Amino acid sequence: PNNGINLITNSYSAPMKINSIDFGTKANATVSFYNAGSYEEWAAQQSSTANDAHGNPGQITVCPKETGEEAQNIVTIPAGQSFFITAKADKAEVIFKYEDLSFNPSSRMFLPGEPVSRFNILGIEVKGYKKSDRLVLMECESCSRQYNNGYDGYKMPGDEGLPQIYAYNKFGNTAVNADSTFNKQYVGFAAGNDDETYTLSFETDKLFGYHSLYLTDRKLNETVDILAGETYSFKGYTVGENMRFQITGVTEEEWQNMMNGDDDDDEENSCDLRVINNTLYVQEFAATHYPAANIEIYDMTGNLVWSTPLTTERLYTLPTLPQTIYTIRLGDCHVKYAVCH
């Protein structure tokens, strides 16, 4: 393959295992398929009634070598199937061997049932009146917010006029995004041509280990409780908004550490801010060094949710807030505290 997007075909008469392909050093270790959809799906898109059984026809399904099985439930490239590979330079070598083919007659592109996942997975589907798209976020202990070849899959826009949802990163937008945490991940969106209102829904059946997980619409400052099974409807714009949404969450381990007072991030709390039973204690150091400062509370997205001037008082009753973790700031000092009901 040459630099850019290349169309390749499995010319063998047997399915090809995606995780056995050698992508070399000049290609992204990702296989992408054009989702042709069914006649019924295309007919529904052209009709005057909503398509309730979205299959995302017209979109590109992205399958990274290491995560495609769990992210998309796809394990093989069928005989005669065409697919895309993106090369980072000319004369890239992508090797698949005859002995790596799957000769099992029952072998199929899609796995029967759900695979046992090695990763923590959050799927996000966006649906318009007739058209849709899907993003997969994955937690991988060895992954980072940089590009992880074979784990991250770059977003490839589908047909013109379709909605696009993707994870926004400095290295590029992804359709499958692998990182060590979901927390503070930005989610971008661009509307299609035909729909004005969209609904986000969340796939959480492969999600574990979180005490709370939220999606915030940064444009409207509205928050959705993902673990509660909530959906979210909003208006989109055809001009992509890379940082329209943000994921924030608290793992069960982080929550227990907060409850036990074992938060490692509070080592710098030399100003002696303490929260006990919804009451903030301001010790002498803080009162002396920040006499004209405000006491401020920020949520996990960085939004200021409460503020009051520092006075000669040492005790402050904190406001009733939704259950999650917050940061209290006074000048350069800050301390985290958990709200539980």
pLDDT confidence of residue 52: 46
The model's pLDDT over 125-154, given as tens digits with 9 standing for 90+, comes to: 999 988 899 999 999 999 999 999 999 999
Say yes or no to pLDDT of 206 above 70: yes
pLDDT at 203 over 90: yes
DSSP 168-224: E-TT--EEEEEES--TTEEEEEE--SS-SEEEEEEE-TT--SEEEEEEEETTTTEEE
pLDDT at 215 over 80: yes
How confident is the model at residue 266, as a pLDDT? Answer: 47
The answer, yes or no, to whether residue 54 has pLDDT greater than 60, is no
Q: 3-class SS at 109?
A: coil
Report the DSSP pairing between strands 132-139 and 120-127.
antiparallel
56-83 tens-digit pLDDT = 889 999 999 999 989 988 888 998 999 9
Kindly report the pTM of this predicted structure. Answer: 0.77
What average pLDDT is seen over the chain?
Answer: 84
Report which residue type is found at 112: P
Q: Select from 215, 238, 219, 218 the least CA-distant residue to 227.
A: 215
Between CA 244 and CA 219 the distance in angstroms is 6
pLDDT of residue 324: 81
What is the predicted pLDDT for the residue at 100? Answer: 78
